[in-house]
Structure 1
Amino acid sequence: MDMAQRETWTSRVGFIFAAVGSAVGLGNIWSFPFQTASNGGAAFLVVYLLAVFLIGFPTMLIEFVIGRRSKQNAVSAFSELGYGNWTFAGVIGVFASFITLSFYSVVGGWVLNYIVGSVTGGYLGDASTFFGSVSSGTVAVAAHAVFMAITIAIVAGGVADGIERATKFMIPAILVLLAGLAVWGSTLSGASAGYAYYLSPDFGVIATNFTSIVPSAMGQAFFTLSLGFGVMVAYASYLGRDDSLPGDSAIIVVLNTIVALLAGFAVFPILAATDALTGSTGAGTAFVALAGAFGQLPAGRIIGFVFFVVLLFAALSSSISLLEAPASYVVDSYDTERWKVAVGVGVVAFLLGIVPAYGYVGLFNDFVFNILLPIAVLFIALFAGWIYGGEAVDELGRGTSLGRGAMTAWLWWVRVVVPIVVAYTLWLGVTNFYAGLVNGAYF
């Protein structure tokens, strides 16, 4: 595509909302509270926050540097920068994005069914039976198709008119509705027990469950920040040269973390009030536990409707970025009309998503969490730290008042600390995923 015709964000705020929208998704509201509940509560929260700020934030800067410097998608960026032999790193990210979109849309379809269930009261009688009826089979495939169609329509609208306009509406709505749910949750009997489990860490739990908590927390951090998908590379490629990458990254990371924490403040009082505070986590646990809780609470149907609308906005704000990553590669590389690309990629992702729609969401989710994302992050960290080096520092310095010393410290951090931590996380993730395959946990 002619660079002069390439789309851009209409404003810095538009970019931030889009990037926050990508980060704020089902991972924050669907996965985060239940990852926390099943991994020791506040113990998991501590490790997760460390992963976000010590590993996630520096990694986001890497993706922003690559994207803005190259003005290309995650695959083409490396060739544009003069390092075509590193293109595989971008391919891994876009592949992770595509795989995630395929099963993420299935979960988005569950959300649509639960919104309908809130209106009809369908899940209030027997939450487990309702989940079983909508989470697998033809009903799940049909809802998956509707959710994917909405995602395709937004991405087909373009960067400014589609993605930016949608996220400018959805992100404030998510914040307002989640804050309202958190305030309402504070009035429930037993809310204090939920807060205690959520906010009072038992560091002995971290020591005892270190090998399971670390990959879960790291995968959660990458997933909620949209790192390793090629998404942030694509989004940063539409930026102007004068934007502060550290400033924008800090805003995005903080807002994303606020949403995750708000989700916890909304969910844990509900779980505590209905004696469902702890338990095993799985792809459907959030839906079964919360739907069951809404059935026991005053005005549960109304609260459930609001919650699942929040979940829908969160799901869409991320699904459009997951589609944008592979779509931007095709648009940039083959000068094809955006709407045709969005439809084509979306349809293929839908077809792949039929597999998880028949009961394999957990398998797809753990494969991405434990393996694909750590691999993608590891390679881009090695590239930025040891190959691109000084040029990465130069790009990071554009539009910011940070001194050279701070930027050099960032470079050494991504050279040494990030690869070591991510490589260790990958090893644990592969070990845990293999154990799940051997034990039949996914089948």
Structure 2
Amino acid sequence: MREHFGSRFGFIMAAAGAAVGLGNIWGFPTQAASNGGGAFLIAYLVLVMMLAFPMLVMEVAIGRYGQANPVDSVRKLGRTPLQKTIASLVGYAGMLVPSLVLSFYAIVAGWLLAFLAAAVTRILGWDAATEWLEAFGLGRNIVWTLVFYLLTILVVQAGVRRGIERWSARLMPALFVLFLLLFFYILTQDGAMTGLKHYLVPDFSKVLEPGLLISAMGQAFFSLTIGGCSMLMYGSYLNKNENIPRTAFQVTLLDTGVAFLAGLVILPAMFVAMKNGVTIFAEDGSLLSSDTLVFVVLPALFDTMGPIGLVMALVFFVLMGIAALTSSISMLEVPVSYTTERFKASRPLMTWLLGGALALFSVAICLNFGALFGFVIRLSTQNIQPLVGLGFCVLGGWMWGRAKLFEELVQGSPELAGSVFWRIWPWYVRIVCPLLVLLVIGSSW
């Protein structure tokens, strides 16, 4: 008997957890700070609705229709042996994305856990341990990467309801609460209002700059993990009586809300850090250390706050750890679901085997960091993932057919037949979305 989510709330929390990750909390504020603050925010919000939301509806619909792992779900869309073969290839490519992403994501998440542990050891006054935890050494990186894999494996092996749904429903609300606490504290600091103004008051002359639009489009696409198979996978666990467009819209709002909250916290924090003597921007206005902003700028800011800074550091890295874990469980679930269904193997066994294999690959990346880390990131997020997202649009919009697509969507929302959404969305996702994805692909190659 195939598992399903026990409630709509459980699905929304799990799907939002899959989408909410380091891309929202680490990537979005960095992109906003590098691209004019408020101008980037406006472009991002518009493009989330223009690109990410319509494609999310398609990916969830394919998953619920297939009621299987990503390969078997997309294979069901084909009507001829050739079509089924093409669809299977897209499914296998899609399965590769979360596995590759997890292999480098776990390393970054391991850094986060190390800084979280460092926040505790600093409070306890264990200076030697703190120094080891905050130094980017090989041993530290490997140890905390493996710790993060252990946490991910323990959640996924428990299954959809007892593992993924239960922990997502607990961790996501906790993430929002911690974010709000951090936001209200940061606002009390000198310099925060300048950062808030930079983030919320747009320079409209920059909104239509090609570079900014391409960056916002890419961030919108990757923010909801379009083409990463996690949403398709979770869609396959969704009950047939759920309203897919409405549920996808709620997931989109939650994901975008977390990105917005991250900007509310991190951009003001950057300007507070500048007031406290931390260098953020280069002379030409570009952002310094954008890739390590979270690990360099924010700890430097917390250090200037005295005793309360120790508590703020702990809260922040707990928050980051939650975001990382809710994403990683969705990534590991994709290959686990495939192997358990195809080979009729037990979930705990496949979770430990696949999690262990990916952990070894992550260790290999740590040992060859300069050559492999950036390469795996580019291969998965810039090369394969957009192509898979494009494949889902083509398969769902053209191969599946309007009649079958309508039949699937209308099960949970009979009012869809006469709606404006149904008059616009099918042709939009067949024509406009692929063109926008091609722009993302063209800008990233």
Please indicate, yes or no, whether the TM-score normalized by the shorter chain is above 0.5: yes
AA partner of residue 336 (structure 2):
A
CA deviations 1:312-356 (Å, max 9, x no partner) are 111000000010111111112111111111111111211221244
AA partner of residue 419 (structure 1):
P
Give the conservation status (yes or no) of the 8 Å contact 1:38–1:281.
no
For 2:132 and 2:46, locate their aligned partners in 1 and report how far apart those are by CA, in whole Å: 34
Give the conservation status (yes or no) of the 8 Å contact 1:17–1:167.
yes
The corresponding residue for 1:297 is 305
The corresponding residue for 2:332 is 323
Give the conservation status (yes or no) of the 8 Å contact 2:118–2:133.
no
Change (3 A) 1:35 1:136: farther
Cα deviation, residue 102, structure 1: 0.5
The corresponding residue for 2:436 is 421
AA partner of residue 338 (structure 2):
Y
For 2:160 and 2:340, locate their aligned partners in 1 and report how far apart those are by CA, in whole Å: 12
CA deviations 1:373-407 (Å, max 9, x no partner) are 21111111111112113111221222112234521
Residue 20 of structure 2 corresponds to residue 6 of structure 1: no
For 1:384 and 1:105, locate their aligned partners in 2 and report how far apart those are by CA, in whole Å: 31
Identify which of 72, 94, 107 aligns with 2:68.
72
Q: Percent identity?
A: 35
In the TM superposition, 1:216-365 aligns within 5 A as 216-275=215-274, 276=279, 278=281, 279-298=287-306, 299-357=308-366, 358-359=369-370, 361-365=373-377
Cα deviation, residue 40, structure 1: 2.3
For 1:369 and 1:354, locate their aligned partners in 2 and report how far apart those are by CA, in whole Å: 20
For 2:136 and 2:256, locate their aligned partners in 1 and report how far apart those are by CA, in whole Å: 28
Cα deviation, residue 22, structure 1: 0.7
The corresponding residue for 1:440 is none
The corresponding residue for 1:117 is 118
For 1:131 and 1:385, locate their aligned partners in 2 and report how far apart those are by CA, in whole Å: 52
Change (3 A) 1:189 1:20: same
In the TM superposition, 1:59-208 aligns within 5 A as 59-82=55-78, 83-85=83-85, 86-121=87-122, 134-208=135-209
Number of residue pairs matched by the alignment: 420
AA partner of residue 408 (structure 2):
E
Give the conservation status (yes or no) of the 8 Å contact 2:118–2:134.
no
Q: Which moved more, 1:308-317 or 1:72-81?
A: 72-81
Q: Which moved more, 1:355-364 or 1:237-246?
A: 355-364
Structure 2: 5+ residue stretches without partners: 282-286
Cα deviation, residue 229, structure 1: 0.9
Give the conservation status (yes or no) of the 8 Å contact 1:43–1:206.
yes
For 1:206 and 1:350, locate their aligned partners in 2 and report how far apart those are by CA, in whole Å: 41
Give the conservation status (yes or no) of the 8 Å contact 1:131–1:284.
no
Residue 37 of structure 2 corresponds to residue 27 of structure 1: no
Identify which of 395, 400, 407 aligns with 1:394.
407
The corresponding residue for 2:392 is 380
For 1:300 and 1:361, locate their aligned partners in 2 and report how far apart those are by CA, in whole Å: 31
TM-score, structure 1 normalization: 0.90
For 2:216 and 2:117, locate their aligned partners in 1 and report how far apart those are by CA, in whole Å: 32
Residue 425 of structure 2 corresponds to residue 410 of structure 1: yes
AA partner of residue 416 (structure 2):
L
Cα deviation, residue 277, structure 1: 5.1
In the TM superposition, 1:432-443 aligns within 5 A as none
CA deviations 1:26-64 (Å, max 9, x no partner) are 111122111211222222222222221111000110111
AA partner of residue 440 (structure 2):
T
For 2:377 and 2:159, locate their aligned partners in 1 and report how far apart those are by CA, in whole Å: 28
Aligned to 1:121, the other structure's residue is in SS state helix
Give the conservation status (yes or no) of the 8 Å contact 2:273–2:297.
no
Residue 39 of structure 2 corresponds to residue 43 of structure 1: yes
Instruction: Supply the RMSD in Å over aligned alpha carbons.
Output: 2.2
Change (3 A) 1:227 1:308: same
For 2:273 and 2:138, locate their aligned partners in 1 and report how far apart those are by CA, in whole Å: 30
Give the conservation status (yes or no) of the 8 Å contact 1:282–1:362.
no
Give the conservation status (yes or no) of the 8 Å contact 1:178–1:262.
yes
AA partner of residue 2 (structure 2):
R
Cα deviation, residue 259, structure 1: 1.1
Give the conservation status (yes or no) of the 8 Å contact 1:113–1:134.
no
Q: Which moved more, 1:107-116 or 1:223-232?
A: 223-232
Cα deviation, residue 370, structure 1: 2.4
AA partner of residue 5 (structure 2):
W
Aligned to 2:71, the other structure's residue is in SS state coil
Change (3 A) 1:218 1:77: same
Change (3 A) 1:7 1:383: same
Q: Which moved more, 1:412-421 or 1:215-224?
A: 215-224
Q: Which moved more, 1:74-83 or 1:190-199?
A: 74-83
TM-score, structure 2 normalization: 0.89
For 2:151 and 2:353, locate their aligned partners in 1 and report how far apart those are by CA, in whole Å: 14
The corresponding residue for 2:284 is none
Give the conservation status (yes or no) of the 8 Å contact 1:93–1:376.
yes
For 1:133 and 1:120, locate their aligned partners in 2 and report how far apart those are by CA, in whole Å: 11
